[in-house]
């Protein structure tokens, strides 16, 4: 009868683990090399075939593709010495392959062979031209959208938070506010467009109201749910220690309800961005929504796609910032939900 010791098991597992690690590194190296070749192919596709249209940034785009290919190749070969940057590059290597293949196909299908009809499907260099030639107007639109979005969102989130805490804590307040919330809340904020633009003195204030309305409803409902779901045992312990009602609200109810509050803030952020675009398209004379409307009117589809990319980055950045704030305040839930 044979027996195995712990040292024997470790000795058997160690070579297998080293082989697995070597296989992972070999696979990441291969993927990185493929990513570099794909981006080099994108550069070749930009510079080898002539454009079917008049775009001034094709050469710059091709050179940029070769620079990205060289950077990816260097990062792949030196990944073990780059620390966190090398690890991040290995992790994202498959996405670099996919995105490089996508932009290569995009370039060939639009600028080189016109498989997709122009101007509805502009090539990558056309969008690059927007970011270089029309940057001042685009930046002005971005700043206008940030001001409008931030103001409406902060107002809606603040009012929604206070209303939700009040309803969750006080049955008397809930008796009067709840029916109003059930009547106004389910209606889309865009349904109030005619009333808002007629009631408020300016399109800016009307748009701010609509964004605040879209933000306030989910924040109110989720905050209310969070406060109402706090266990009575927490309040009993605090009262035993002599806590006053204000302490119960500020130090017990609100901290316990914060996970629900942040869910409401995430939902309100998405709704507010949707209302922002609609409001800027209809009444506001600046912003990304207005820029989209202007680009569509002039059939400048490259400008439209460039604005959509910027809008997506802004929305994603705002959600990322909100997640960072959530992870800092709710340390015990850090990493449970990632963005």
- What does the pLDDT look like over 52-84, one tens digit per residue? 888 889 999 999 999 999 999 998 888 778 888
More confident residue, 337 or 10: 337
Three-class SS of 181-206: HHHHCCCCHHHHHHHHHHHCCCHHHH
Q: How many residues would you count in the chain?
A: 339
Domain boundaries, given as residue ranges, for the chain: 6-120, 135-333
pTM of the predicted model as reported, rounded to 2 decimal places: 0.80
* Burial class of residue 241, CB neighbours in 10 A (0-12, 13-18, 19+): exposed
CA nearest neighbour of 72 among 22, 120, 32, 19: 32
What band does 166 get if pLDDT is binned at 50, 70 and 90? very high
| Beta strand residue intervals within 107-146, DSSP E | none
pLDDT at 7 over 70: no
d(CA 134, CA 137): 6
Q: What is the pLDDT of residues 204-261, one digit of tens each?
A: 888 899 999 999 999 999 999 999 888 888 888 888 888 888 888 888 888 888 989 9
Give the domain 135-333 fold. Answer: MetI-like fold (1.10.3720)
Cα distance between residue 330 and residue 284, in whole Å: 37
């Amino acid at each position: 009868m044979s027996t195995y010791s712990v040292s024997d098991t470790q000795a058997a597992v160690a070579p297998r683990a080293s082989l697995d690690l070597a296989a992972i590194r070999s696979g990441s190296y291969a993927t990185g090399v493929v990513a570099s070749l794909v981006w080099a192919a994108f550069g070749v596709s930009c510079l080898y075939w002539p454009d079917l249209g008049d775009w001034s940034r094709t050469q710059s785009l091709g050179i940029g593709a070769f620079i990205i290919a060289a950077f990816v190749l260097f990062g792949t070969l030196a990944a073990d010495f780059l620390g966190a940057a090398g690890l991040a590059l290995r992790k994202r290597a498959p996405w670099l392959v996919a995105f490089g293949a996508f932009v290569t196909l995009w370039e060939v299908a639009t600028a080189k062979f016109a498989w997709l009809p122009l101007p509805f499907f502009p090539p990558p260099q056309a969008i690059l031209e927007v970011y270089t030639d029309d940057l001042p107007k685009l930046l002005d639109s971005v700043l206008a959208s940030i001001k409008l979005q931030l103001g409406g969102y902060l107002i809606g989130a603040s009012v929604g938070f206070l209303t939700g805490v009040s309803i969750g804590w006080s049955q008397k307040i809930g008796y009067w506010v709840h029916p109003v919330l059930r009547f106004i809340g389910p209606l889309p904020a865009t349904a109030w467009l005619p009333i808002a633009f007629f009631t408020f003195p300016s399109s800016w204030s009307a748009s701010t109201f609509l964004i605040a309305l879209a933000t306030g409803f989910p924040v109110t409902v989720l905050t209310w749910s969070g406060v109402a779901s706090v266990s009575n045992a927490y309040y009993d312990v605090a009262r035993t220690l002599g806590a006053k009602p204000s302490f119960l609200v500020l130090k017990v109810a609100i901290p316990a309800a914060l996970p629900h509050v942040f869910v409401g803030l995430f939902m309100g952020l998405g709704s507010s961005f949707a209302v922002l675009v609609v409001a800027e398209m209809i009444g506001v004379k600046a912003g990304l929504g207005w820029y989209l409307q202007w680009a569509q009117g002039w059939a400048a589809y490259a400008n439209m796609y460039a604005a959509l990319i910027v809008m997506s980055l802004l929305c994603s950045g705002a959600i990322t910032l909100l997640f960072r704030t959530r992870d800092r305040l709710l340390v015990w839930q850090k990493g449970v939900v990632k963005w």
